[in-house]
Amino acid sequence: MTQEILTRRDGVAGIISLNRPKAIHALTRGMCEDMMAALTGWASDDTVGVVMIDHAEGRGFCSGGDINLLRKSALEDGGISGRRFFYDEYRLNHQLFTYAKPVVAFMDGITMGGGVGISQPAAWRVATENTRYAMPESGIGLFPDVGGGWYLSRLDGHVGTFLALTGARLDGAECLWAGLSTHYLAADMLDEAKRRIAAGEEIGKVLAELSAEAPEPKIAAHAADIARHFAFDTLEEVIASLEADEGEWAQKQLAILRSKSPQACKVALRQLSQSLELDSFAKNMAMEYRIGARVLVLPDFAEGVRAVIVDKDNAPQWNPARPEQVTPDMLDAIFAPLPDNEEWKPS
């Protein structure tokens, strides 16, 4: 069996390469466990000065978590194995967020969902012309987890709310503009960057020297639109704001929003709002685990994956079907604490 995670040492660097190319390096529970083990070992190794995370081959850095496994869990075991996956994935996210040594993530290619979760905690996040960044969970009845509540809520100009609700894809230049990446390099310069970092050169200096001038970020032209339409606390208000704008961009976003799970969108709005009030990443992950444990077994997730990934008819039948049918009581139940022995903990 091919190893799904490749770890190696090069100079002062510990290197983790995702190695599941046929699945665009989607994370499995075993991959999360292997990554945590490598990080734990390097944490106490004085010869390791930096950790680099990249992918071994293929067109994406990481397309997300193992969605098919999660759907199977929802349909067959009441979400038990799905919860276990979330538990370990979130521990990996937290380990990276709190890691004492610098981490460099190379977001070359598709970086979505779980790929965001293992790249955003890094102090150094490198985008390229190949980067395609998104948190598309609202389209499959989920929510922007893996720390998405923490990161997206803290972006300027309500860009995070826009990304969470619409699942919009950003290219590398747009990631740099939004603050989701720290540097923009041409893909053919990545090997040189890795070589120099592994040789012990100062990370910021290397990335600055090798950075390319990013193209004009297309999203910047709509920054004012995003700030205006996505500033509201409720999904109904966001929709009403877009409906009142006859411009082409607003109408396109409205159509996209109407295709998403109303429940998932409302969960995401509350998630981002509550995350902004939390004082630690661990508390954010505990909140997201509660949400994940509930949403996993609600109808929209299995239906969303069916429509988008299994049957690919892109015609999900959401339940509830309309925003006004997703009540505050429903959301309260999704966000409620779990029994003490089921709550998520960092370790």
Which pLDDT score, from 0 to 100, does residue 69 have? 87
Please report which confidence band the pLDDT of residue 2 belongs to, taking 50, 70 and 90 as the band edges. Answer: low
Residue among 145, 171, 174, 300 flagged as catalytic:
145
Note if 243 is an active site residue.
Answer: no
In tens, the pLDDT along 122-163 reads 999 999 999 999 999 999 999 999 999 999 999 999 999 999
Which pLDDT score, from 0 to 100, does residue 59 have? 81
Note if 137 is an active site residue.
Answer: yes
CATH of domain 5-342: 3.90.226.10
Query: Quick check: 278 and 287 in contact, CB under 8 A?
Result: yes
How is 255-324 classified by DSSP, letter by letter?
HHHHTS-HHHHHHHHHHHHHHTT-S-HHHHHHHHHHHHHHHTTSHHHHHHHIIIIIS-------SS-SGG
Please report which confidence band the pLDDT of residue 325 belongs to, taking 50, 70 and 90 as the band edges. Answer: very high
More confident residue, 257 or 57: 257
What is the rounded distance in angstroms from the CA atom of residue 42 to the CA atom of residue 31? Answer: 17
Please report which confidence band the pLDDT of residue 309 belongs to, taking 50, 70 and 90 as the band edges. Answer: confident
Q: Which two tokens stand for residue 23?
A: 């699945």
Residue among 4, 54, 66, 137 flagged as catalytic:
137
Note if 65 is an active site residue.
Answer: yes
Element spanning 86, H or E:
helix 80-97
Which pLDDT score, from 0 to 100, does residue 182 have? 98
Query: Could you state, in order of their start, the residue ranges of all structural domains in the chain?
Result: 5-342
Q: Which stretches of 167-216 are DSSP H helices?
A: 172-178, 190-198, 203-210
Which pLDDT score, from 0 to 100, does residue 122 have? 98
Query: Can the peptide bond before residue 320 be classed as cis, meaning omega within 30 degrees of 0?
Result: yes
Please report which confidence band the pLDDT of residue 58 belongs to, taking 50, 70 and 90 as the band edges. Answer: confident
Backbone angles phi, psi at 316, to 5 degrees: -70, 145
Residue among 65, 139, 148, 167 flagged as catalytic:
65
In tens, the pLDDT along 197-218 reads 999 999 999 999 999 999 999 9
In tens, the pLDDT along 89-100 reads 999 999 999 999
**pLDDT value at 1 more than 60:** no
- Tell me which residue has tokens 């893996």: 146
Residue among 11, 14, 64, 114 flagged as catalytic:
114
Q: What is the mean pLDDT of residues 281-302?
A: 97
Which pLDDT score, from 0 to 100, does residue 66 have? 85
pTM of the model: 0.96
Which pLDDT score, from 0 to 100, does residue 247 have? 97
